[in-house]
Amino acid sequence: MGLLQANEHLPGLEGGGIIRRLGQNTDSLKVGQRVVVSRKSSFANNLQSPVEAIYLLPDDMPYETSALIL
């Protein structure tokens, strides 16, 4: 996102990816799961999000399709 100033928010309201790390109180999620998230600045390479904004993505569903249902 080199077009933005360092102090500006990144664009994006939803995104998808794979869980790489977990914080505390995340018993419902596991590292390696495919997820979609409803969160500002979702175009970032790495994103931290509260559990309430994370949804598991079925293995047979492409990320592009998941954006339609968020």
pLDDT at 31 over 90: yes
Q: Considering the entire predicted model, what is its pTM?
A: 0.73
Are residues 70 and 62 in contact, defined by beta-carbon separation less than 8 angstroms?
A: no
Is 65 domain-assigned?
A: yes
36: pLDDT strictly greater than 60? yes
Q: Is residue 31 part of a domain?
A: yes
Q: Is residue 36 part of a domain?
A: yes
Full residue range of the structural domain in which residue 56 is found: 14-69
The answer to whether position 3 is within a domain reads no
19, part of any domain: yes
Residue 45 falls inside a structural domain: yes
- How many domains is the chain built from? 1
15 falls in which pLDDT band (50, 70, 90)? Answer: confident
Q: Is residue 34 part of a domain?
A: yes
Residue 56 lies in a domain: yes
What are the residues whose beta carbons fall under 8 Å from the beta carbon of 58, sequence distance 6 or more? none
